[in-house]
Structure 1
Amino acid sequence: MKKFPFLIGFLSFMSTLTFCQKTKQVDLSTSIYNVLFESNIKIKDSLIIYALNFQLEIIKNGEKTLVNQITANDSLAFTLFPSYKKLKSINFTSLMNGRKKIRLIIPILIYGSSSGEKKHLDSEGRPLINLESAANAAYSLYSPSKFNNLHNANLNLLHRLYQQNKVFKEEAFWEATTMNPIVYEIGNIK
């Protein structure tokens, strides 16, 4: 009978440890969201679908981490999220998992439309976006390749991949840690 309270206490303690580990991941995601969404996004297009990503090169520095480099697949990311440099202040130790260096990709999908400028609608009144733009957006969320959402959204994705491989000799495989996409919907662009 004396073992029963000990067992309950031990199980309670173990569940607390598990809960604490999950909280660290939530805090890391929340920190990233807070940094990126400090400023208001101002867009002048009437119908948008932008797929951006920030790529952070992170190295372990003792008990903390150091963000060596921040790049983006589109320079538009730096314009829309001017507070991106604050990502360097976040401690990414929980992502390292024994590695000394990682590449973290933070995908961001921004979409929206202006109620007055909708030209082509589906049967439920939602705006249609052409297939090339949708395919390029899907690929651009996680790809480290440079892309210009404003000028190249209507390019054929296969042509884009061919050009990239021809010019950059990009490898077919690359290692990266990715987080779930951050989705930013703009309900009525003005």
Structure 2
Amino acid sequence: MDNGQEQVQQARDISISAIAQTMVIYGVTPSVGRIYGVLYFAEEPLSLDEIKDEVAMSKGSVSNGIRELLDIEMVIKVWKKGDRKDHFIAEKDFFRNFFSFFVKNLRMERNLIAKANEQAKPLLQEVQQESEDEKARELAAKDLEDLENTQVYLEWLMRFSNAMESGEIFEYFPKGTKEKRDED
């Protein structure tokens, strides 16, 4: 490897390290971030064995990391002619990665809260309507009001998620362009 190729690899290593550190912010382990970084800079789809060699991890750990990346749609499984092994490429659109990750998590949050509200609401209504304890009725009424207020948040959360998924969010927060950055 000549000096130019070594410098390219050094620059890639720096970027892969930054990607891995950034993914920690979003709750993804650094090792999974390194797998993504290696695939991001790969010039062709890589097999689990090839990824394992690049990141110096066990095949099981790489397999788990790939599964996690597939789940959050940051990696795509591809077919490679003449090879029976699975191969993978990185989704390079950071906007898509960001939206996919957050939409999934926001919808999970919404579903958890909505389900809890559905379970809690009848209990509170029963206390409010049937309890002889005035303090319990007041607490139930207050909690029911709080649950109704969360509904506003849950509806906003769905609109926000839908706007990210559809790309409508770019009407309010444009991506910008490389040309504009070059002007600055």
TM-score, length-scaled by structure 1: 0.22
Considering fraction of residues, name the structure with more helix. Answer: 2
Higher relative contact order (CA 8 A, sep 6+): 1
Structure having the larger proportion of residues in strand: 1
Which is greater in Rg?
Answer: 2
